[in-house]
Amino acid sequence: MGKKRVIKKSEKELLEEREKIEKVLKKEVQIQKKVIEKEANVYISSTYNNTILTLTSLEGNVLGWKSAGNIGFKGTKKGTPFAASKVGGAIADFARKLGIEKIHVLVKGIGSGRESALRSLSTHGLNVVSIKDITPIPHNGCRPRKPRRV
Instruction: Write out pLDDT tens, residues 35-76.
Output: 457 899 999 999 999 999 999 999 999 999 999 999 999 999
Q: How many residues does the structure list for the chain?
A: 150
Give the global pTM: 0.72
Return the SS3 of 59: coil
Backbone angles phi, psi at 45, to 5 degrees: -110, 110
32 DSSP 8-state letter: H
All domains in the chain, ordered by first residue = 33-133 (3.30.420.80)
66 pairs with which residues across the strands?
A: 53
pLDDT digits (tens, 9 = 90+) for 87-133: 999 999 999 998 899 999 999 999 899 999 999 999 999 999 999 99
